[in-house]
Amino acid sequence: MLTYNTLIVLVGTSLLGASAGLVGSFAVLRRRSLTGDALAHAALPGLCLAFLVVGERSLPAMLFGAFLSGLAGIGCISALRRWTRIKEDTAIGIILSVFFGAGIVLSRCIQNLSVSGSKAGLDSYILGKTAGMIFQDVVLIAGLAAFCLAVLLLFYKEFRVVAFDPSFARVQGWPAASLDLLLMTLIAVAVVIGLPAVGVVLMASLLILPGASARFWTDELDRLLVLATIFGLLTGAVGTLISTRYSLLPAGPIIVLTGTAWFLISLFFAPRRGAIARWMLARRVHSRLGQNKLLNLLHDLSEPSWPGESAWTIEDLSSRKSWRPGQLKHLLQQAVIWGLVEFSGTGRYRLTADGWQKSAELARNQRMWELILTEHAEWSGCLANLEHTGVQECVPPEFYLQLDRELRERARYPKVLVQEK
Amino acid sequence: MPVGDQAPQSAPILDVHDVTVAYHHKPVLWDVDLTLREPHLVGIIGPNGAGKSTLLKAILGLVPLASGTVSIFGQPLATQRKLIGYVPQRESVDWDFPISVIDTVLLGTYGRLGWFRRPGRAERERAQQCLEQVGLADFARRQIGQLSGGQQQRVFLARALAQDAQIYFMDEPMAGVDAATERVIFELLQTLHAAGRTVFVVHHDLRTVRDYFDYVVLLNLRLVASGPTDVVFTPEKLQAAYGGRLPILDAAAEALRTQEAGHAHL
């Protein structure tokens, strides 16, 4: 059953999941995922220092310290990148480990030196601990989440242009660097909200997973942001419920694993962008190419005797092109089902009327491409579209008519189609 | 076509004065002086590494100047951004970004909208018109990654058109595009020229320079020459820009000969 405490924790983790998902999406799109990770790790020393300064466990003070040192870490990364020849990934690696190392040392010092240190529960900020969440914490989380949402709504247009094309944005006069800094501030806020629950080590996944998952389900930025927020919210809620149900399991890692599970589902099962959908598309394209290859071959073999009959055995066909084992048989069966090829008895196959028409059109397309490549190389740029469309859709109408004419002049025009038009 | 309200008529369209750009102490552009007083279709040409794109980026404030000044209609760049349209290199963005074709074109209107205002019906109609102008009206709802390279280039052109600028800067718009796209670009340049706009184009194909541009800027780290195409696009000046790179020079000379033969026929 849901107790009051569980409810508090549930609301808190849902809100932190939602805000991390929302601002994290922009980090993913802006290719700043790792920066978010560095920011989370860099928050630890600030948290400890704030505890030392205030002298007791005060969540707002410690989170403010975390916020400042997180931003300081980001500042160091930008400075290294800008003023030295160190590349961004190296800078991120250095800052992440240095700040995190300093944070660990500080937290151990606090626990060793003072009596109250052991009460600080600093360890829980490394891997996260949701059980201690109280009503005031949730109010704080809700306030910060609302702040993130408000800023993103206000600057939606500006963030969008800077995220997609920063140099274009700069030419238009948008201060890309300041907007980036604002984005980093929002990420720092989201990190700070999430620290007590999932800790500095796992925070990055809460920023990255919802946005990365949402990308599989939509091609529109506004929908992606809505989806990422929902995914983040559900990740926090479901993760918390699982960890309360099995009270031995730590909440932070469970929340992260919940997010990962949803990411994997998205990765495999999303329509169109998912791995399975892409695999099926690749198979369809492959099978169509095979079918075209078969029809082209049948056409080239049969055309000389047209309109007379001609039929071919599997051996005739298999000796003239290379096929994978079983492929030719499968393609022939398919063509028979589609009514393009028929069985003529005595183990031979021939084109049906539909098959003649279809294969002749394919042959015309094929021969036009050959003509373009040999005689009109300046048009070969159109080849990029070969996979999806025929010549007619790729070149201007007057050039298509010219190709048509040239094929007829060279007696390369498919006989079946000569009567047309 | 009115030219920048706040600019006095006498101010040059573009004035680049003594511009030097250096990356890590290595100069990539030296002491470039360039003044354009009349609207032209300007081709920026020169060998690889001559600083063609860098000149464009220096004018647009995308790379820091080691020295020099740039003014647009007599004013510094910062106050004249609404008069500028930009077509970056196609490779400069992630085409898998979740944005549709029409929304990409709509980005062009953001500059005039200013902070916080969202594009409304007028902006959407304008974006659709620009898309029609580059022949992509039917692709409005597609995600940009589903387009071919040439079509992607045309989306960038439509976005620049949506900026409704006086001066356009295009970075290699004709690199690696299909013939249909090249034709769209050519017609677009003519339309913009007829409307009194100025277009700077970084261009790599010497064979088409005479067809496209009535003004040429010849670069090789420094400015070799600039002026009307007839005056600047000559074997001597090309020799000066391309130096001893003979294969390229031969190609250029060959191009010139065929061009001249072609022009003689007309």
Look up the CATH number of the domain holding residue A140. Answer: 1.10.3470.10
Chain B: residue nearest A173 by CA? B81
Read off the pLDDT band of A388 (50, 70, 90): low
Q: Out of A64-68, A167-171, A353-357, pick the least confident.
A: A353-357
Would you state the pLDDT for residue B246? 46
Of A251, A269, A287, the position where a domain reaches its end is A269
Name chain A contacts of B58, Cβ cutoff 8 Å: none
Give the range of the structural domain holding residue A214, as residue numbers without chain letter: 4-269
B179 Cα distance to chain centroid: 19
In a domain? residue B21? yes
A235 Cα distance to chain centroid: 18
Chain B: residue nearest A376 by CA? B179
In this structure, are A289 and A384 located in the same domain?
yes
In this structure, are A237 and A330 located in the same domain?
no
Domain total of chain A: 2
In this structure, are A39 and A143 located in the same domain?
yes
CATH at A334: 1.10.10.10
Q: How far apart are CA A345 and CA B160, in angstroms?
A: 64
In a domain? residue B6? no
In this structure, are A284 and A246 located in the same domain?
no
Chain A: residue nearest B115 by CA? A158
Domain total of chain B: 1
Would you state the pLDDT for residue B250? 61
In this structure, are A407 and A347 located in the same domain?
yes
CA distance B148 to chain A (A): 7
Q: DSSP secondary-structure letter at B143?
A: B
Q: How far apart are CA A98 and CA A32, in angstroms?
A: 19
| Interchain pair A224, B98: CB under 8 A | yes
Read off the pLDDT band of B21 (50, 70, 90): very high
Of A225, A244, A269, the position where a domain reaches its end is A269
Name chain A contacts of B78, Cβ cutoff 8 Å: 173
Residue B32 main-chain phi, psi, to 5 deg: -85, 125
In this structure, are A81 and A16 located in the same domain?
yes
In a domain? residue B26? yes
CATH at B44: 3.40.50.300
Give the range of the structural domain holding residue B138, as residue numbers without chain letter: 14-265
In a domain? residue B7? no
Read off the pLDDT band of A306 (50, 70, 90): confident
In this structure, are A317 and A184 located in the same domain?
no
In a domain? residue B177? yes
Chain A: residue nearest B82 by CA? A172
| Amino acid letter for position A7 | L
In this structure, are A173 and A193 located in the same domain?
yes
Average pLDDT over residues A254-260: 93
In a domain? residue B118? yes
In this structure, are A132 and A200 located in the same domain?
yes
B199 vs B44, B62, B185, B216, CA distance in Å?
10, 18, 12, 11
| Interchain pair A381, B176: CB under 8 A | yes
Which residues of chain A have a Cβ shorter than 8 Å from any chain B Cβ?
A: 29, 31, 85, 154-158, 160-161, 163-165, 167-168, 170-174, 215, 218-221, 224, 378-379, 381-382, 384-385, 394-396
In a domain? residue B2? no
Q: Which residue has the higher pLDDT, B188 or A197?
A: B188
In this structure, are A370 and A258 located in the same domain?
no
Would you state the pLDDT for residue B5? 47
- pLDDT at A371 > cutoff 90: no
- pLDDT at A45 > cutoff 50: yes
Size of interface A-B (CB pairs under 8 A): 95
Per-residue pLDDT tens digits for B222-265: 999 999 999 999 888 888 888 765 455 566 666 666 665 555 44
| Interchain pair B98, A167: CB under 8 A | no
Of A234, A269, A304, the position where a domain reaches its end is A269
Percent of chain A with pLDDT over 70: 95
In this structure, are A244 and A289 located in the same domain?
no
Read off the pLDDT band of B7 (50, 70, 90): very low
In this structure, are A29 and A173 located in the same domain?
yes
Per-residue pLDDT tens digits for B45-86: 998 888 999 999 999 999 999 999 999 999 999 999 999 999
Average pLDDT over residues A120-134: 75
Would you state the pLDDT for residue A119? 56
DSSP string of A198-261, one letter each residue: HHHHHHHHHHHHHHHHHTTT-S-HHHHHHHHHHHHHHHHHHHHHHHHHSTTS-HHHHHHHHHHH
Name chain A contacts of B169, Cβ cutoff 8 Å: 171
Partners of residue B27 on adjacent β-strands: B22
Q: How far apart are CA A402 and CA B95, in angstroms?
A: 35
